[in-house]
């Protein structure tokens, strides 16, 4: 399996040429349907074995309803889940996808596209590809894409940075040393909704229920306030009722690249929440 990116000189209507990236995925004897599902849920499945021009993927974290998990992928491509094991393993070995476990569901694994170039291409360039091919309004299109760039590219990347910081650099800041840090999903039976946890910090069980050291929400481009704190409290209450984890000392953590409101800072001084900003994330690593 080979990922190739070439820059083709395309002629322009008024003369001259523009260099445009052409992205191909060459799959040899491997069923690429799972990757095509992750790349674009509206993509048409192609025959394996030849070079294909493909839509470019987003790295937005899959929601429980999206085809980012094995069952969702199987349903989308019309295959059985057990038929996807080998293709997904090959794509993972090639570094095109990565599997991420759910902190609260041991039997659930999500898959995420792992190629930054493809993520940027899909989120920013592909929606305006006809204009970009003609070299029209690149500056205006980039300005128009800032919100999508923040939510589809920067946001998921910031969440991963926060998880890595909690695992490798936070030490015992949350009461003990973590043994696992992951994202997770929590069911709310009353409202029949699913809440996403960006950062779940688990400690060593020591023969009892595993302690949930902390749960956190990560926002790259938002100033976080009391609403985020209340959301985390609600999730902690749901996990307490579930009784699978020890939540007696679970800390609530807000990670933000844009800062925090004064009200939230006051709650942090009272010990109700931990605030982690850019100085914490990058100061500990320096």
* pLDDT the model gives residue 96: 77
**162 within a domain of the structure (yes/no):** yes
Q: pTM of the full predicted structure?
A: 0.73
Domain identity same for 72 and 107 = yes
Domain identity same for 163 and 241 = yes
**252 within a domain of the structure (yes/no):** yes
**150 within a domain of the structure (yes/no):** no
Q: If you ran DSSP here, which 8-state letter would residue 105 be given?
A: E
* pLDDT the model gives residue 145: 93
**222 within a domain of the structure (yes/no):** yes
Find all residues with CB under 8 Å of 34, minimum gap 6, and list them. 73, 77, 84, 87, 88, 91, 111
The per-type count for the chain, helices as H runs and strands as E runs, is 11, 10
Q: Structural domain of residue 21, as residue ranges?
A: 2-144
Select from 116, 144, 172 the last residue of a domain: 144
Two structure tokens written together for 273: 């929440």
Domain identity same for 97 and 127 = yes
Residue 74: CB atoms within 10 Å = 19
For the chain (286 residues), the mean pLDDT of every run of 10, in chain order, is 43 48 44 50 30 33 48 74 81 84 85 82 88 89 92 92 96 96 94 94 91 97 97 97 94 97 98 96 67
* CA-to-CA separations, 139 to 72, 143, 146, 254, in angstroms, rounded: 37, 6, 11, 34
* CA-to-CA separations, 153 to 118, 124, 158, in angstroms, rounded: 11, 9, 9
Q: Where are the beta strands (DSSP E) in the chain?
A: 2-11, 17-26, 51-53, 97-102, 105-113, 180-188, 193-202, 212-219, 251-256, 274-276
* pLDDT the model gives residue 207: 78
Two structure tokens written together for 123: 């989120």
**151 within a domain of the structure (yes/no):** no
The C-alpha angle with vertex 67 and arms to 212 and 187, in degrees rounded to 5, equals: 35
Residue 91: CB atoms within 10 Å = 25
Cα 129 → chain centroid: 24
Instruction: Give the total number of structural domains in the chain.
Output: 2
* pLDDT the model gives residue 30: 45
């Amino acid at each position: 399996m080979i990922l190739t990116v070439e820059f083709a000189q395309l002629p322009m209507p008024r003369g001259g040429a523009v260099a445009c990236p052409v992205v191909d995925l060459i799959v040899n004897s491997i069923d690429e349907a799972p990757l095509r599902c992750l790349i674009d849920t509206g993509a048409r499945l192609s025959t394996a074995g030849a070079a294909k021009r493909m839509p470019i993927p987003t790295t937005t974290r899959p929601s429980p309803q999206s085809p980012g998990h094995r069952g969702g992928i199987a349903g989308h491509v019309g295959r059985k889940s057990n038929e996807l094991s080998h293709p997904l393993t090959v794509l993972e070995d090639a570094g095109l996808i990565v599997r991420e476990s759910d902190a609260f569901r041991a039997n659930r694994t999500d898959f995420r596209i792992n190629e930054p170039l493809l993520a940027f291409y899909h989120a920013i360039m592909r929606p305006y590809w006809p204009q970009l091919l003609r070299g029209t309004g690149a500056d205006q299109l980039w300005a128009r894409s800032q919100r999508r760039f923040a939510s589809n590219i920067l946001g998921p990347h910031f969440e991963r940075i926060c998880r890595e910081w909690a695992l490798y650099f936070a030490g015992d800041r949350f009461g003990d040393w973590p043994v696992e840090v992951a994202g997770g999903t929590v069911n709310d039976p009353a409202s029949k909704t699913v809440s996403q946890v960006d950062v779940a910090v688990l400690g060593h069980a020591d023969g009892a229920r595993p302690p949930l050291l902390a749960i956190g929400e990560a926002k790259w481009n938002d100033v976080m306030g009391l609403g985020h704190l209340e959301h985390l409290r609600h999730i902690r209450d749901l996990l307490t009722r579930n009784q699978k984890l020890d939540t007696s000392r679970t800390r609530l953590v807000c990670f933000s690249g844009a800062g925090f409101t004064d009200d939230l800072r006051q709650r942090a001084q009272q010990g109700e929440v931990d605030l982690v900003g850019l100085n914490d994330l990058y100061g500990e690593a320096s």
